[in-house]
Chain A
Amino acid sequence: MKVQIFGTGCPKCRKLEENAKKAIRELGVEAEVEKVQDVREISKFGVMMTPALAIDGKVKCSGEIASPDKIKKWLKEIG
């Protein structure tokens, strides 16, 4: 599974990345975490509000810092 975090580098997207890594660790799943910082790349995914998160190319949340629990739920659904 590939988890992508979208953000331009401010504390909010870093927190989202932390939460994602925590969720992955706690679930024990195989997942790669990629940070997308380039503004044009972010737009290509249809993301307007950062921070945002996508799993396997599908945007799961945008404009909020999803908690590790929420992320775990999504990971379980997809994985």
Chain B
Amino acid sequence: MLLSILLSGTRALLEYLSAHVLTCLVPAFFIAGAISSMIKKEVILRYFGPSANKFLSYSIASVSGTILAVCSCTILPLFSGIYTMGAGIGPATTFLYSGPAINLLAIIYSARLLGIELGIARGVGAVSFSIVIGLIMATLFERKREKETEEAKFSMVADPHTSTKNPAITFLFFADLVGILVFGAWKKWWIVVTLLALLIIILKLWFKKEEILSWLSSTWQFVLLILPWLLVGVFAAGIIRDFLPPEVIKTWVGGDSLRSNFIASIAGALMYFATLTEVPILKAFLELGMGKGPALALLLAGPALSLPNMLVIRNVMGTVKAAVYIALVVCMSTFAGVIFGKFVF
């Protein structure tokens, strides 16, 4: 019995490693490393100040998770910072919800493993619903603050460095990396090789050695941080896929009913997922018969919440606001799942 469990896990790992790692995750890690080491975060943080344009604050909050919170452990301090230092509860909760969900690696991986519709739905859902949640929280809870002291505290933190690199070059560099990712996924190897050659030329011409080293070091940090848990997730997913009776999944979260979406959403909210582990586990559930709508609901609620992080959120916001936030996340995720189920198929 134990042996067959270990075999399932190992088999899942091997299937996984041969098909996906090289063409998908490797470029993705490099891209994440580049974002982390090359994009000046202070520039983004400016938008969370108390006197920043609200429209900008919300928009940036909903997508900046990609740039700012590359490690899930920074999300909570960032959230707390945005909340206490200026922009207020609206943009702060927008960031809190979208940050974990809009993690670039997670979206790329979701699209690859679960299908492009779920990947896109995850990204779009995270961004749009995060703004909705933020606005609702702000409407319910925003109170007048002393603008001057907030501004003073805030400027201490968000001090933008002037970038020394021509933005066009940075753009070209990223476009090249993304190209490698996309064409690698489509298995157009000749194009990938050309892009790699182009990359080396770009690096030689315009990148200093320390920038390249910093990029590689960031990339490696990601690998060390994420890969071990990811492999555990794949292993666990293999076991789940072979041992969990499909009827259990079908009864609770099969199909696209409101109930299935709701259950998936709550389960996601309570369960803890290390970065990226939700994806292979979800794939196992889908293979066992989970509906696509509930899958999306879990994808949206899962990374954003877990029992441990609910406690921290409560410490920062207070019990009432935290409870409202959690309720909003569960509802929005359920809603997203229902819409996805109805309109995509």
Residues on A facing B (Cβ under 8 Å): 6-13, 38-40, 42-44, 46-50, 59, 62-63
Contacts and interface: CB of A to CB of B under 8 A. Distances in A.
A21 B71 CA distance: 23
Nearest to A10: B73
B76 A39 contact: yes
B57 to A, nearest CB: 14
B85 A39 contact: no
16 contacts: A8-B73, A10-B225, A13-B73, A39-B80, A40-B80, A40-B315, A43-B77, A43-B83, A43-B316, A46-B85, A48-B81, A48-B158, A49-B77, A50-B73, A62-B157, A63-B74
Given A40-B315, A48-B45, A10 B71 contact: yes
Interface in B77-132: 77-78, 80-85
B289 to A, nearest CB: 35
B316 A49 contact: no
Contact of A47 (B81, B83, B315): B81
Q: Which of A38, A42, A48 has the most CB of B within 10 A?
A: A48
Contacts of A40: 80, 84, 315-316
Contact of A48 (B71, B73, B82, B221): B82
Given A8-B73, A40-B316, 19 more contacts: A7-B73, A7-B77, A8-B312, A10-B73, A12-B73, A38-B315, A39-B312, A39-B315, A43-B81, A43-B83, A43-B84, A43-B85, A44-B84, A46-B153, A46-B157, A48-B82, A49-B78, A49-B81, A50-B73
Given A43-B85, A46-B85, A9 B80 contact: no
B157 A47 contact: yes
Instruction: Categorize the interface residue count of chain B.
Output: 20 to 34
Contacts of B71: 10, 12
Contacts, number: 72
Contacts of B77: 6-8, 39, 42-43, 47-50
Interface of B: 41, 45, 68, 71-74, 76-78, 80-85, 153-154, 156-158, 221, 224-225, 312, 315-316
A42 B154 CA distance: 14
Nearest to A50: B77
Given A39-B312, A43-B85, A8 B76 contact: yes
A47 B79 CA distance: 11
A39 B157 contact: no
B8 to A, nearest CB: 29
